[in-house]
Amino acid sequence: MDDLGRADTERALYDDRTLVRMIGMRRTLFAEPVELAPIVHAACAPTIVPRERRRLEGWLLDGGVTATPKQWVADLEDATLAAIERLGAATATELTRLVPELATQIPVSLKGAPAGGIGASTRILFLLAMDGRISRGRPRGTWISSQYRWEPMANWVPMRDVAAGYSEASAQAALVERWLRAFGPGTTEDLRWWTGLTLGAVRRALATLETVEVDLEDGTLGIVLADDLEPTASSVPGAWIALLPSLDSTTMGWTARDWYLAPHRPALFDRNGNAGPTIWLDGRVVGGWGQRQDGEVATRLLEDVGAEATTAIEARAAALTTWIDGVRVMPRFPTPLQLELSR
């Protein structure tokens, strides 16, 4: 969006509250419009919340923290939520002063876990967020800070009350329909990957929708909504160019990616399948970008796109440098090309 400033995004998240950060598909953090949030919650939470709660309870029991992990977790969730509601908004550190049990270290031998284990505050806040009871509010410090003030989800939307209007099946069908509307045509495997639902759940959701099968360019069959068969006309004059950030929903939208990535996947994704910053031209990825030490956006094209498109991409990179205004945005999952350009 050419006319979107940081202040506009902050206003939508924290003042107007038309966007909300929430745990949704694939147990991943998304920013969702508040009207979509109950659908995402009702579709995904019944699967991910019990599983994550059982995982934490197992760690507590195995680590000798408590002999009654289920009650321990439930009591700590309630105490933490009560503290957030009392304060209105609070960081994990502020909450730990009111609820000392949040400082408990849970012995866990996971890859990437600190030597002393995982703090209870991390897991309890994660569970409360997945359960639709709290959300990340305004960050502490700059707009790229990862330290958030937690607030009751009701400050955005009374999630659990509104989500109760959906059955798990109806919410999953609505979520699948949203994906097809935005990303279709696609395959059942694309839908399974994106939603994080089981293949059976995806098929049951599709059975409730009016869809048709279409031939894809790679020779496989895809699925599209029956009322979405006409080609989409571009509203952008000339070449369509975008410099998209890491983990952008477009780059991550499908599991079969060769049709828009070509041979560029090794340079632009990490080993776990996380997308780095990408350059798009007319619906396909043609390169990547990163930030130099001084904040300048540096680009690299991975194929010849012609002089006119190259000039337009350079202009887009210069505009992004101005927009970021000297702040270095470091992707959480660095990719080979992004690391090279950031030196």
Per-residue pLDDT, 331:
84
Say which residues have a Cβ less than 8 Å from residue 34's Cβ, sequence separation at least 6. 17, 18, 19, 20, 156, 157
Task: Calculate the dihedral angle through the C-alpha atoms of 29, 34, 38, 40, rounding to the nearest 10 degrees.
Answer: -40
Distance CA(87)–CA(146), nearest Å, equals: 20
What kind and span of H or E run contains 224? strand 221-225
Give Dmax (Cα) for the chain.
Answer: 68
Structure tokens at 244: 């998209």
Distance CA(277)–CA(149), nearest Å, equals: 27
Q: Where are the domains of the chain?
A: 10-163, 169-225, 241-341
Based on DSSP, count helices (H) and strands (E) in the chain, helices before strands.
13, 12
Per-residue pLDDT, 262:
87
Per-residue pLDDT, 231:
81
**Whether the Cβ atoms of residue 156 and residue 135 lie closer than 8 Å to each other:** yes
SS3 131: coil
Degrees (nearest 5) of the Cα angle 329, 151, 40?
75
Q: What is each CA distance from 191 to 47, 198, 202, in whole angstroms?
A: 16, 9, 7
Radius of gyration, alpha carbons of the chain: 22
Instruction: For domain 169-225, say whether CATH 3.30.390.30 is its number.
Output: no
pTM: 0.90
Q: Along the chain (343 residues), what's the average pLDDT of each consecutive run of 10 residues?
A: 87 97 94 96 95 95 95 98 97 96 88 71 96 95 90 94 92 97 94 95 98 92 94 72 94 92 94 94 95 94 96 96 90 92 90
SS3 136: strand
Amino acid type, 283: G
Beta-carbon neighbour count of residue 142 at 10 Å?
Answer: 8
